[in-house]
Amino acid sequence: MILELLNLAWIFFKIGLFTFGGGYAMIPLMESELVSRNLIDLNTLYDFIGIAESTPGPIAINMATFIGNEAMVQYGFLARILGSIVMTTAVALPSFIVILLIASLGSKFLESKFVEEAFKGLKPTVIGLIISVSVGLMIRLVFPLIAFDTLTFDFSVFNYQSLIIFAVLIAIMLKWKKVSPIKLILISAVLGMIIYSIL
């Protein structure tokens, strides 16, 4: 159990260290680090993101708490609490250390050309990664058997229900540009219950 905990903590430390541009940047990292190692399945990951979005607090912290709890599920109550605390600490630690260094030593090195140039390459990479996971997710919701990474283009299962939900949500997002994520998630939950119940 300890080994599992440390292993997972190391992954969350890396996620914390490589997250740029807000909580969303960590989603591609989570897919690649957690799902590909079978630590969590893809559906559970996106269910969690939905909950993390609609509960208070930073998304990154919410996700770490969630997955820390979930990963220790077979070891009982205390282990689950411990898992949450360890993962949350692990994901926050890189930020804490880096900012502490900057706050105490000054931000001179941030003004170096090196950092600025590295970010010129990092920013479009991060955006590309986020686009890739979101489009991947959206296509998978409509055609669950498609897998781009193995070049499997299987259209035999078609969830038209998801397509209807997409249409309604996009219409809402276009009409009310400022609709908050929480409201959108609540609406989508209701839509899911209605549409999957009747169709």
Q: Which of residues 152-191 bind another protein (CB under 8 A)?
A: 161-162, 165-166, 169-170, 173, 180-182, 184-185, 187-191
Question: Distance between alpha carbon 199 and the CA centroid of its chain, in Å?
Answer: 29
Shortest spacing between CB 6 and another protein, in angstroms: 18
Query: What DSSP assignment string belongs to 129-191?
Result: HHHHHHHHHHHHHHSTT-BTTTTB---S---HHHHHHHHHHHHHHHH-TT--HHHHHHHHHHH
CB 45 within 8 A of CB 34: yes
Nearer to another protein, 131 or 157 (CB): 131
Q: Which residues in 103-124 are b (16+ Cβ under 10 Å) and which e?
A: eeeeeeeeeeeeeeeeeeeeee
Positions in 81-140 near another protein (CB under 8 A): 81, 84-85, 88, 91-92, 94-96, 98-100, 102-104, 107, 110, 113-138
**Cα(76)–Cα(70) distance, rounded to whole angstroms?**
10
Query: Nearer Cβ to another protein, position 39 or 50?
Result: 50
List the structure tokens of 199: 């169709």
- In the complex with another protein, the residue whose CB is nearer, 3 or 57, is 57
- Convert residues 25-54 into a mask of x (bound to another protein by CB under 8 A) and - (unbound): --xxx-xxx--x------x--xx-xxxxxx
Residue at 101: amino acid letter: L
Q: At 161, list the tokens.
A: 């229900």
Nearer to another protein, 4 or 179 (CB): 179
Least distance CB 3 / another protein (angstroms): 21
Residues 53-82 that bind another protein (CB under 8 A): 53-62, 65-66, 69-70, 73, 80-81
| Shortest distance (Å) from residue 165 CB to another protein | 5
Q: Taking the complex as a whole, how short is the minimal distance between the CB of residue 65 and another protein, in angstroms?
A: 4
For residue 155, the minimal CB distance to another protein (Å) is 17
